[in-house]
Structure 1
């Protein structure tokens, strides 16, 4: 009888692995805890220390989940702020450094100037779109001024 119950449980468990989630959420943790309490051996009930430890784990899981949500929101807000703060560069004249190869094949730093036409967010970084059509990283900028008339 026990073997048939075990084989039934194991066959259901394998199906769950194929279709289930790869991480445990709060609901899954509580279901496991409730199942464990419901199926414990009455002659050897779960000790208080074990139960408290599992509840502490649940509490930690809840706190980490909330912290993860808060940090994700904070990072998204920082990206937006960083992007928006660079919008003040639109229409400004900038000097920026560009690495170029000279005729002998050596690289050297060349200072270019252009006007910023737009700002775009690409691959997690804020980029400046120049009037020449070039797209540069903000770290390349060495000077910002009002456009000369």
Structure 2
């Protein structure tokens, strides 16, 4: 009896969350494997089978909702960054001190907004929204 691998396994711990993600197709393959290799004298209970299908559908809906929330948060951060153009902000610098300046531009790196701040004649680029401490 041969069993096919469902997902790739990685030995590094940083890849563990990505390897643990299964799609609905993977769940359907698991169910089909269960049906294919079940004992004919002890078939799977219909209620158990339907309960598993409902759980898999619920998991897929939760995954889709999580993706939508991530997209919504990304759009909200873009909206916030565009909304503070021309406003004075207080920014935490990499040295740990804070600087006050005016937001002059917004750029995007890997989908995340980055601010350009003019502080006392000095231009600070690549400021993350998480570095903004105060908007005036």
Q: TM-score, normalised by structure 2?
A: 0.62
How many residues get paired?
116
- 1:137 aligned partner: 128
TM-superposed deviation, 1:29: 3.8
1:63 is aligned to 2:58 = yes
1:115 is aligned to 2:107 = no
**Structure with a larger share of its residues in helix:** 1
Structure 1: 5+ residue stretches without partners:
1-8, 101-107
Q: Provide the rounded CA distance (Å) in 1 between the counterparts of 2:31 and 2:37.
A: 10
TM-superposed deviation, 1:116: 1.0
- Would the aligned equivalents of 2:89 and 2:103 in 1 still touch at CA under 8 Å? yes
Q: TM-score, normalised by structure 1?
A: 0.58
Structure 2: 5+ residue stretches without partners:
8-21
- 2:32 aligned partner: 31
TM-superposed deviation, 1:99: 5.3
Q: Provide the rounded CA distance (Å) in 2 between the counterparts of 1:47 and 1:99.
A: 60
